Amino acid sequence: MSSAKFLIRLAALLGLTFLVGCGVSTVTIEGSFPTPNISKLPLNVAVYYDQSLRDFAYMEYSETGAQEFNVQSGQSHIALFNAVLPAMFDGVVVIDSLDDAVAAEVDAVFTPLIEEFQLALPTKTKLDVYEVWIKYNMRLATAEGDYIADWVLTSYGKTPTETFRSTEAAINDAAVVALRDLASSFSLSFAQVPEVRDWLAQL
């Protein structure tokens, strides 16, 4: 009887081990983002992080359709914008609702959104690099909610395969490169966006 119980337990354990091995692996993107060395614009800006950005996660599926990697990057995007925006503008406040913008007495409200996220793994591409590609929609409006600009930005990051590095660590590294790419292109191109440039000229 005890031997039968032992066998059942062993089978259950083996089954669980098998299931865990087949489960989805969660990768929470973590990295440090330097403050950009750029000239500040004389603006007070409010930033609104939509819930979809805060909770943003991307699911990568295997070739058989099974969930493989759950890449959570919402909080790292917020950390990135919190590092970049104060270097770009004289004043930056984070607001919890778009309705708070008027009370914050800001010149504009900035709302970043992620539209698309793509992950390319060496097992699928047959290249020796992990790649991350992200498409953003950047929105700028007045404190009253009037349209100023709405533009698309893409960012790209890659990292080479290494012998003693896990897939999760490589995905994280590629995503951090993509986030740095976003920070560099956003901070350097902001004032060149045609609608933003026209609006800045009016101020």
Q: Which residues bind another protein (CB under 8 A)?
A: 34-39, 127-129, 156, 158-160, 177, 180-181, 183-185, 187-188
Residues with Cβ within 8 Å of residue 69, at least 6 apart in sequence: 24, 25, 26, 27, 59, 60, 119, 167, 168, 171
**Shortest Cβ 100–another protein spacing (Å):** 29
In the bound state with another protein, the residue whose beta carbon lies nearer, of 15 and 160, is 160
In the bound state with another protein, the residue whose beta carbon lies nearer, of 105 and 128, is 128
Token pair in block for residue 17: 């081990």
**Shortest Cβ 164–another protein spacing (Å):** 12
In the bound state with another protein, the residue whose beta carbon lies nearer, of 106 and 193, is 193
Handedness of CA 43, 198, 152, 179 (dihedral sign): negative
Q: Determine contact, residues 92/86, Cβ cutoff 8 Å.
A: yes
**Shortest Cβ 101–another protein spacing (Å):** 27
**Shortest Cβ 197–another protein spacing (Å):** 18
Amino acid identity of 88?
Answer: M
In the bound state with another protein, the residue whose beta carbon lies nearer, of 134 and 141, is 134
